Amino acid sequence: MTPHASKTAVAVLALGLAATGCGGSAAGSGGAAGGDGVLVGLVTKTDDNPFYVKMKEGAQARAEQLGYELRPLAGKGQSDNDSQVQAVENLVAAGAEAILITPSDSKAILPAIDKARAKGVLVLALDSPTDPVSAADGTFATDNYQAGVLIGRWAKETFEGRQARIALLDLSPAQVAVDVQRDQGFLEGFGVDVKDRTRIGDESDPRIAGHEVTDANEEGGRTAMEKLLQKDRGINLVYTINEPAAAGAYEAIKAAGLQDQITVVSVDGGCPGVRDVAGKAIGATSMQFPIKMASDALDAVAAYLKDGTKPAASAGLDFTDTGATLITDQPAPGVPSQDSAWGLKNCWG
């Protein structure tokens, strides 16, 4: 019996249960099930971040092509595990055949994922891996470490002959995998000894002015940058977890009159971020591809429901790499990149 055949009846009978939602923090898409009765859940960290908005749009488009019902739910914030747990539980109760999830907490979500998989639900992580990666049936993501390495290498070449004073604007104190990977990849690309690659903040390099957290949003980026500049106005290189945090950081930098002194680098590839590259607020960013993550994951769901095949990882990795491209209008020797014009044709959000 295929995985699809084993659960379709449950899905049809239980669709109405998901109307309980995920409290006030997560709303379902509603609507009838697809032609073959397949319900697929999508659980993102938030429902207002442009990255997850575009991911949801990509998932919805591919689900419609496949004849599936997509039910999107979201947490209250980048670090809100409780709402994601409730969302997973609601989707399992509704008879979902598969759940795609961007974990807010790569470890705390594991019990909910384990329970879902024990009931025969295919669970695929998007963007942010679980910890360990094997806790999910597959992962579709940017190689976040390499995305960090790209902007680190670009910054190293750009700062050739100059002494860097580095500020790092991270996600949260929780040491979430995507946060750690981008931060540590950037430092490694720049040539900093990161000591333990699985932890943020244990470096002893005197070029590092400090770390602050941003919750990956503009307000957090602005506040974090203000704090760091109060401690050290000699900062001239700023790494940010994502482009909204970079935008907030740049506001603080400009308010301090230091926009000609400080170079900002980031990760995301959203259209506002690419426009910030074109406007010189961001020196370089690593573009990722949320639509591809979602559509590739839906294709993996289709393969699994057909014959039980689970997705294979990319060569040398424990996940399926959906790619990253460096976007900058100041190309650096030996670092492959595209300019902001190319970025604006391929960005999201």
Rounded to the nearest integer, the mean pLDDT of the chain is 90
Q: Per 3-state DSSP, what percentage of the chain is helix, strand, and coil (rounded to 5)? A: 45, 20, 40
What residues are paired with 72 via a beta bridge? 42
pLDDT in tens, 153-195: 999 999 999 999 999 999 999 898 889 999 999 999 999 999 9
Cβ neighbourhood burial of 27 (10 Å; 0-12, 13-18, 19+): middle
| pTM of the predicted structure, to 2 decimals | 0.79
Of 30, 172, 39, 178, give the one whose Cα is nearest residue 102.
178
pLDDT of residue 51: 87
pLDDT of residue 36: 62
Sequence-distant (6+) residues with CB within 8 A of 113 are 88, 101, 123, 130, 135, 136
CA distance 215 to 213: 6
Percent of the chain whose pLDDT exceeds 70: 90
Six-digit token string for 5: 């055949």
Whether 114 and 121 have beta carbons less than 8 Å apart is answered as no
